[in-house]
Structure 1
């Protein structure tokens, strides 16, 4: 049984990490969040110490270390712009870091963390759950077996409606979230680069606060992508069903079914990390470079555009 601490316990994604820690038969000894609405911890680790101030949390971690209680892992579910700092804290305490995506906002942050990782006793892992999804694994296997000479043509569309709260929260601040493509798209870009190889071209056709669109060309695929949190972008048939999310990936005109199968992927991610098979900094670097360039490339009016822009 390993000892865990969790930073960002009141966040949306935290329950999946709590469940993963419990499902892998490990123990949460401490949790931190400046918000105290963390009653769901009772369903997982009611005896874990909880803190609303980082200083007291850090002092507690130091105290247990001096009492020869090991802290083996730190799970990080905080806002994107804080990941870098909290990873560093985990490594300073000799723990392994498990960080939600995006692991950092800029490529040079990864290089700096790699240096610190080498100097520490710990290791840095990130959650890339799409790599564990059955439909994505089948697609990767298909691509390897087919060994096509021509590139695949892919349309990626992801619309996940958000209310007015989004702009008020840290997610609506690009300096903290990295913007729409980083916040809701980074795991898709990771999946695409994992299956189809290195990026050869990265064009941006639309970049607004609530939506973005562009064209990515990989070694083995041409991808038109569209991301949005605006419910007005939902297709009419989705609106009629009163659904607020639309997720679609077509590969050479064939729809990839991956609407289900997400519930246990964090637990599966933890199993791999605990077995020493987690995804580290090198694996995640491509996707961070993609979203950084989307954030900074100039907007073009020409090129292969997503159907939603035509």
Structure 2
């Protein structure tokens, strides 16, 4: 590593134009991060603990909950650390790891949305063959492909970014290590890395948009053909939760990468929506709009209440 960099750490300058708001931001982001972890862990527990939810749809939803806990954990803990007045420095290796896992988890989750759209397409357009098509081996293969795409994407971007020479300024004018913030600090020519990053992100985005649009175009046609109003309502309710989650995830990313003139404050705000807020909203969207998940969550809460009641009684008796 010493052959191509003279820096051993970077300084994260934080969210642009928010000086003096550190305490307020710390409280807000801590609250959001806590409820993101709590909400998604409850959904995952509800899916695992309920045998009625052991279907392909909820298998993918459980995985999405895991990714929605991991994705904000790449950037949020470090951001909370320096917002609380602690060190804002991050090691060279830590910066590379942050960039790698951000793109690994982000692109894998994007692939997972496409897989979930395909799952809904099969369920609505081919209901009689659903369990035959979406058998366990196929589900695992689709998730493996999604993880492989994410790993390849993250490896390419991280390799091109951190094979450059960083020998001058180490101040990252952002709240985490991402391509647009790190590449301008390179002493060597970064045009190839910028081009590869844009092409990679662009190709992945087009793939996700095309696959999801294809699935939902067929789903829309199939829903219009359903004769019963109850059947149409059920199909629409199932798909609307997924579409809402997709819009929350892709909307900020599209705005970031379609800016003609980069706006640091707007980019930071969109990244916060994508990195921190969207994973929390996913938990709310899927728990509030899904009757099966709500029923399973009620059982989980009832079990937890019984456990706490038992421990409280034992504590009183022993005390």
Question: Shorter-chain TM-score category?
Answer: under 0.3
Give the helix-richer structure, 1 or 2: 2
Which structure's relative contact order is higher, taking Cα pairs within 8 Å and 6+ residues apart? 2
TM value normalised by structure 2: 0.26
TM value normalised by structure 1: 0.27
Could you say which structure has the larger radius of gyration? 2
